[in-house]
Structure 1
Amino acid sequence: MSLPVVHVARRGWCEPLAVAAGLNRREGALALLAGAGDPTAHGGRWSFVGCEPDRVRVGAVNDAAAFEALRDPKFSGGGVVGLMSYDAGARPATGARAEVWPDLMLARYPALLAFDHAAGEVRAVGRGANAAEAEAQGRRAADWLAEAVTLPIPPAPADAFTGEAPPEAYEAAVADVVARIAAGELFQANIARAWGGRLNGGRDPFEVFARLAVERGAAYGAFWRLGERALVSNSPELFLTFDPVTGRIETRPIKGTRPRDADPARDAALAAALAASAKDRAENLMIVDLMRNDLARAAVPGTVRVERLFEVESHPTVHHLVSTVTATARPGVGAAEVLEATFPPGSITGAPKHQAMKVIAGHEPPRGPWCGSLFGLGLAGDAPRGGALIASVLIRTASFQQDERGWRWSALAGAGIVADSDPRAECEETGAKIRALKDALSGG
C-alpha cells in the first residue's frame, strides 16, 4: 500500500487551546500543545489539534514486537498518534500483571491542524488516497478554526487529591532500593508514588488540561480523549525525535530536580545547587549512558553522541537537569524500530534497565500510561516515509476512565533512587513534581 497523498493549506494564526476547547467533546479529541517559551526550542514550535480519527486500534501487543502496528500500512503513513503504556514495555522484565490501561492506543487522523508557533501560522493538513480526498480532509480541518472558543479558566474539578499510600510507605520503598543498590543488585531505580480520586459530577478531564495549559503549560502538554478514556499530560520531557529523511535520532533524558521558589534569589540558588550537585549529575549520567546503549541498537555504529550534558531547564514548578543524546539511524530503520530499541524510557526505569523494572514492580502496582510514551508520526504534514516521529515521556500525567459515576483519575510522580538517596528528600521531590497536577485537579 502506497503512502497517502498529503494536502497542506496555510491559514492565519488562531490560539490552539481555543480550537481544542471547541472540539474537546468529540470522539478522538486531541490537543498536543507546546509550552510557553522560545518557539525555536525543542517542543516549542508545534502544537496539534484534531478529532474524529478514521482508524483506531486499542488493545494488547505482542511482547516480541510491541510497535509492530506502526509497520501496518494503515498506521504508517503519518497523521498517527499513539500511546504505549509503561507496563507493555516492562512486561519482559516483570511478567504478566493486572491490566489497568491498554498496552497500545493508536489513532489515524486524516484531518489535523498544525500550529507553527515560529511562523505564526496554522497548517490545515489533510490526507487521503488521492488528491481530492486529501484536499477535502484539509478543508474539514480548516473549518475547525471557526469553532474556536475562549473559555475562562475553570475552577478545580475535584475536591480532593488523595495519596494511595502514606508517605512513610514510599520512604520505606526508597530505603529498600538504597539497600539493594548497596548490595550490588542495581545502580538506580525510579520509584513512584500514586494519587487517585474522582472528578466532581458533571466535570470533565479537558478542564484539568485547560487549567494546566493556561497557567503552567509544559513543552509536551497533551489532551487525548478516546472512547471512555482520557489522558492529560503536562510533560516537560522529550523521549525521542526521529527524522526519516536525515536519520537523526534525539533523546533528552531528565534526571535531577529542584522546586521553584517565588523569590528570584532563592530560585536562582536552587538552580545553581542543582547544576553543582554531584548526586544529581551522577544520576543523570547513569541514564545518559543507558540511553546511549539503547540508541546504539538502532544506530549506525559510531554515531551516538552526547551533544549536551547537565543543562538546567526551568519549568513553572521545578528546575530539571537535562542532557541530550543523538545518533544516526541505520538504513532501513523506521519509527517502529527506534521506539522498540529504546522503550520504556531509561529516565523512568533505571540502570540496569531490566533489573530496575523488576525492582519497580516489587514496590508499585502497574503504572498504566504513566511513564509510557505519547507519540505522533508525521503530524505537521511532512510526507517522506510517513513523516517525522516525536515522542514524549508521560510524566506529570493523569489518566482518566469514565464509568456510570463520571470520571475517576490516577496520577503518579517518581524519583530516581541512587546509593546516597535520602528517603524523606526523595519523597519531597515527588511532591514538587506533582504540584502542578495537584493544583489543576483540586486547587492545591
Structure 2
Amino acid sequence: MLTRPHSTPQVTEIAYLEPALYAARLRDQPNLTLLETVMRQEHLGRWSFLACNPSATARALDDVQRDLTKNRVETLPGLPPFQGGWAGFISYDAGWAFQGAKHPPAFKPLCPDMIFHRYDTVLGFDHLQERAFIIGPDAAKLEKLLKRKAPPKGPHVIKVWQSNFTRPDYEAAIARTVEYILAGDIFQANITQCFSAEIPQDFDAFAFYQTLRTKNPATFAAFLDYGDLKVASSSPERLVKMEAGHLEARPIKGTRKRDGDPARDAALIAELQSSRKDRAENVMIVDLLRNDLSRISKPGTVKVPILCGLESYANVHHLVSVVEAEARDGLDAVDLIKAIFPGGSITGAPKIRAMEVIAELEQQARGLYCGGIGWLGFNGNADFNITIRTALFSGGKAYVQGGGGITARSEPAAEYEESLTKISRIMEAFKP
C-alpha cells in the first residue's frame, strides 16, 4: 500500500520565475508535468504547478481514488491548492466507459485511455502574489534540481500536415449533423477534423510548447513529457474544479476570430454576443452540465452565476458560462470526473447519442483531444481542463485537432473555417 511520506509536508519558498523556465531545467527528469496558467487574472489564472519523478503511476481512476482515500490530508493554508497527489490526463475515448457505453467504437487508439502519476512533492506558483513554493518531503532534492541550467532548445518545426477530411468531406459531415438535428435525433454535436504529421527525429516538443505558450497564452495550459507520449496544450477551457466540496465548470460555446483593427474586433464581439445561434448552443450545453452536476450535488445547489459571458484570447473571442454546485457528502473528485466526463461542450446533447454521431462522422479515435489534463490532490481538491488547442505527440506522429459545436443554424463552409481558426495559433507555433 502506498502511504504519504509525511502528513505535514515540508514547504520551501524559492525565487519566483516563470513556470516554463523552471520546467526547462527539469527536462531530463522522468514524467515531467507542467500545469500552467499563462493568461493570468486574480481568480481564473492564479495558480501553476510543476512536478516530476513520481512515486507511482496509475492507468485507472479507481486506483487513484483508493490511494487518495487512504492518504487524505488537510489543505495547508496560504499555499497553492495542489499540494501533492495525482496528476495526468484522461483521453476523450475513456469517456465511453464512464458513460456506460455497451459497444464503444473500435478505433485504433492514439494514446492510452489515461495516465496519472503520484507526485508527493510539487512546485506551486501563486501568480497574484508572485511567489513560488516547493511542497513535499523531497523539497530539498527538487530545489537542487531547479538550480541547474536549462539545456539548449532544439528544433520544433513541422511543415507537412494531413487532415482526416478533405474540405468537401468535412462540410458534408457538418451537413449530415444538421440533418440529425432537424430529424430530432440530437440537439447538437461537436464535429472536428484531425491534422497529423510525422515527427522529425530531432523535434523538441518542449521548445514547441515554449513557442505555443507565447503565441497562444491560455488559462489552462499544460506540458506533459511521459516518454514516448508528450503533450503541449494551450486550452482556455476548464472542465471542472472541486475545492472544499464546491464544484465549478466553465463551458465554452460560441467563437469569433479576433481582428487587429479595434473597430472590426469590437464589431465581431457585438456579433458574437448578439448571435442567437451561439447563445442557443451555449445554453444547451449549460443545461447538459447542470444535469451532469446534479447527479453528484446536494439538491438545490446547482446554479449558473454567469451565462454567455465574454472571454477574449490571443486569436479568438468566446462565450463562456459558469455552472456551480456543492458536492454531496461522501463523494470525491474521482466521482465528479466519472459523472461529467467527457465534457458536454465537446460532445453535444444528448451526450451519448452525440458521441455516437461524432464517432460515425469522424471515423477515428480522438485520443487526448477533448479529454482532460489536471490534478487530484491529497487534500480532496481537483482541477481539470478540457484538452482543446492542443498538440499530442505519440507513436512517432503529431496530432492537432479543431472543430466546433454544430446546431440547426450551422453553415458547413463557416464551420470549416472556424475549425481552422481555432488551431491557427498552434500551427503557427510549428513554423520556423
Matches of residues 309-388 of structure 1 in structure 2 within 5 Å? Answer: 309-364=307-362, 365-378=364-377, 386-388=379-381
RMSD of the TM alignment (CA)?
Answer: 1.9
Q: CA deviation at 1:148?
A: 5.3
Q: CA deviation at 1:90?
A: 2.4
In the other structure, the counterpart of 1:41 is 43
Write out per-residue CA displacement over residues 201-224 of structure 1, whole angstroms, 9 at most, x where no aligned residue.
311211211101123221111110
Question: Structure 2 CA distance, aligned partners of 1:155 and 1:435?
Answer: 20
| Larger CA deviation: 159-168 vs 389-398 | 159-168
In the other structure, the counterpart of 1:166 is 166
Query: Using a 3 Å threshold, how does the CA distance of structure 1 residues 312 and 155 change in structure 2: closer, same or farther?
Result: farther
Contact 2:309 2:320 in 1 (8 A): yes
Question: Structure 1 CA distance, aligned partners of 2:148 and 2:264?
Answer: 44
In the other structure, the counterpart of 1:81 is 87
Contact 1:373 1:392 in 2 (8 A): yes
Aligned residues: 412
Matches of residues 32-431 of structure 1 in structure 2 within 5 Å? Answer: 32-38=35-41, 40-42=42-44, 44-58=45-59, 61=60, 67-73=61-67, 78-91=84-97, 92-93=100-101, 95-98=104-107, 99-126=109-136, 134=137, 137-147=138-148, 149=150, 156-243=156-243, 245=244, 247-364=245-362, 365-378=364-377, 386-402=379-395, 407-431=396-420
Query: Using a 3 Å threshold, how does the CA distance of structure 1 residues 148 and 122 change in structure 2: closer, same or farther?
Result: farther
Query: Using a 3 Å threshold, how does the CA distance of structure 1 residues 148 and 345 change in structure 2: closer, same or farther?
Result: farther
Question: Structure 2 CA distance, aligned partners of 1:171 and 1:97?
Answer: 25
In the other structure, the counterpart of 1:131 is none
What letter is aligned with 1:79?
A: G
Question: Structure 1 CA distance, aligned partners of 2:36 and 2:252?
Answer: 20
Write out per-residue CA displacement over residues 143-197 of structure 1, whole angstroms, 9 at most, x where no aligned residue.
2331254967x76421223323211111100000100110110100000101000
Q: CA deviation at 1:419?
A: 0.6
SS of 2:201 mapped into structure 1: coil
In the other structure, the counterpart of 2:77 is none
Contact 2:156 2:203 in 1 (8 A): no
Write out per-residue CA displacement over residues 82-124 of structure 1, whole angstroms, 9 at most, x where no aligned residue.
2111111125445142332211101011222111111111110
Question: Structure 2 CA distance, aligned partners of 1:150 and 1:216?
Answer: 24
SS of 2:43 mapped into structure 1: coil
- The yes-or-no answer on 1:20 pairing with 2:23 is yes
Write out per-residue CA displacement over residues 50-80 of structure 1, whole angstroms, 9 at most, x where no aligned residue.
211111124xx5xxxxx32221216865431
Contact 2:155 2:204 in 1 (8 A): no
Structure 1: give runs of 5+ residues left out of the alignment.
62-66, 127-133, 379-384
Q: CA deviation at 1:241?
A: 0.6
Q: CA deviation at 1:200?
A: 2.7
Runs of 4+ in 1 over 3 A off after TM superposition: 1-4, 74-78, 91-94, 148-152
In the other structure, the counterpart of 2:78 is none
What letter is aligned with 2:94?
A: A
SS of 1:442 mapped into structure 2: coil
TM-score, normalised on structure 2?
Answer: 0.91
SS of 2:253 mapped into structure 1: strand
Contact 1:18 1:151 in 2 (8 A): no
Structure 2: give runs of 5+ residues left out of the alignment.
73-83
Question: Structure 2 CA distance, aligned partners of 1:234 and 1:25?
Answer: 22
SS of 1:72 mapped into structure 2: helix
| Larger CA deviation: 429-438 vs 201-210 | 201-210
In the other structure, the counterpart of 2:81 is none
Query: Using a 3 Å threshold, how does the CA distance of structure 1 residues 49 and 147 change in structure 2: closer, same or farther?
Result: farther
What letter is aligned with 1:48?
A: F
SS of 1:71 mapped into structure 2: helix
Query: Using a 3 Å threshold, how does the CA distance of structure 1 residues 69 and 82 change in structure 2: closer, same or farther?
Result: farther
Question: Structure 2 CA distance, aligned partners of 1:319 and 1:27?
Answer: 37
Contact 1:161 1:442 in 2 (8 A): no
Q: CA deviation at 1:35?
A: 1.6
Write out per-residue CA displacement over residues 313-364 of structure 1, whole angstroms, 9 at most, x where no aligned residue.
1000111100000000000111111111111100000001111011111012
Question: Structure 1 CA distance, aligned partners of 2:174 and 2:241?
Answer: 32
- The yes-or-no answer on 1:439 pairing with 2:428 is yes
In the other structure, the counterpart of 1:31 is 34
What letter is aligned with 2:341?
A: F
Question: Structure 2 CA distance, aligned partners of 1:270 and 1:237?
Answer: 21
Question: Structure 1 CA distance, aligned partners of 2:391 and 2:39?
Answer: 21
Question: Structure 1 CA distance, aligned partners of 2:224 and 2:37?
Answer: 15
| Larger CA deviation: 77-86 vs 315-324 | 77-86
Q: CA deviation at 1:125?
A: 1.1
